[in-house]
Structure 1
Amino acid sequence: MKSIFPLLFCAMTLITQAGTAEAQDAGGPMQIIVATPQQLSITESASKTVGVSQVGGQSAKVLYGDPTKPGLYTVLLHLEPHKRIMPLSHPDSRFVTVLSGTFYVGFGDTYNEAKLNRLPAGGIYTEPANANHFGETRDEPTLVAITGYGPSGTSYANPADAPGAVTK
């Protein structure tokens, strides 16, 4: 029998932590969101979302909290097919659930395809604070939910790998 923990965590994340930063900041009640991955619309560019890789071909939506401030947050991240994220880390520990598609993740200071772990929908992994990790998508788009306790940020193991880095 397969473990249902990943799917339960996914549901818990979407139902109990879903809301908007505005509602939390205003002290208002958390919004209720019940949705399948197919019903979620993630259209905002990830370029302004703190705590994600900023690789082109990503879109993100903050469901709860504010990753720039102390406190719990959840971000939905949509990655297009054939996207590679070079080794990076975050100052906060995070829990990631693959909601749809397949994500490949590995850990270390340099990208190494042999270290990639295949995670289909329902797969989970953790990102301990300051642990370099890397990932990629292959032939399908992928949607992941990232939950952490901010403030967050992103530091590339090799600064030249950061999107928008100027190389000489």
Structure 2
Amino acid sequence: MRQLANLAVLISSFIVTAESQAASDNQSATQPILIKAADVQFHPAPGFPKGAQIVLLQGDLSKAEPYTIRFKLPDGFVIPAHWHTTDEEVTVLSGTFNVGTGDKVDKSQSTALTAGGFQVVPAKVHHYVWASGETVVQLDGMGPRTTTFVNPAEWTDMIKNSSK
């Protein structure tokens, strides 16, 4: 089951990467990346429950290179306990991003980060998050980006239930 969850995240990474391929084709390692706010276009986040949106601003999530992505999450959206193989830096751009550590969501043991808030989640630290109000966060890190859910069935059930 864990392999299935990893595969879903890996496939999502490739889909998101393909969506941004046109922009990245025009990017050079020697030129700045400049994206106007009006040009940032969110899309439904592949491999996520309905409502989550994503945009890849730089990088290829499947490669060992820097990446920057933004998520837009609706009010109440939960991402259950999971971990990544590399460090993850999160900046809250709007809304409230609630974060906690552990193997299951415990809202009483979490911290609310509002716009301007920042966190660094070291590699392999089990953590969970949820949004209070529509929330936009920016994630920065070094690829390849992988996500492993502590309880993969919980995530796949959320995806199935959101499409009903």
Q: Aligned pair 1:55/2:41, yes or no?
A: no
Distance 1:23 1:148 in 2: 21
CA distance in structure 1 between the partners assigned to 2:110 and 2:26 by the alignment: 38
Deviations 1:114-160 (A, max 9, x none): 1110101000011111111101112x100000000000111100111
Q: RMSD over aligned Cα, in angstroms?
A: 2.3
- Percent identity, aligned pairs only, is 31
Partners of 1:34 and 1:110 lie apart in 2 by: 38
* Conservation of the 8 A alpha-carbon contact between 1:21 and 1:62: no
Matched with 1:33 is 35
**Structure 2 unaligned blocks of 5 or more:** 1-22
Q: CA deviation at 1:40?
A: 6.6
- Separation (CA, whole Å) in 2 of partners of 1:29 and 1:106: 37
What amino acid is aligned across from residue 147 of structure 1 in structure 2? D
More helix as a share of residues: 2
| 2:73 maps to 1:79 | yes
Paired residues in the alignment total 138
What is residue 45 of structure 2 aligned with on the other side? 46
Stretches of structure 1 that go unaligned for 5 or more consecutive residues are 1-19, 49-53
Which residue number in structure 2 is paired with residue 8 of structure 1?
Answer: none
User: Match of 1:6?
Assistant: none
Q: How far off is 1:23 after superposition?
A: 3.1
Bigger share in strand: 2
User: What's the counterpart of residue 111 of structure 1?
Assistant: 105
In the superposition, relative to structure 1, how do residues 77 and 107 fare at CA in structure 2: closer, same or farther (>3 Å)? same
TM-score (structure 1 length as normaliser): 0.73
SS in 2 for 1:160: helix
What SS class does the counterpart of residue 88 from structure 1 fall into? Answer: strand
Q: Which structure is richer in relative contact order (CA contacts within 8 A, separation 6 or more)?
A: 2
How far apart, in 1, do the equivalents of 2:43 and 2:50 lie? 12
Report the Cα offset of residue 43 of structure 1. 2.6
Counterpart for residue 131 of structure 2 = 137
In 2: Cα distance, 1:43 partner to 1:21 partner: 16
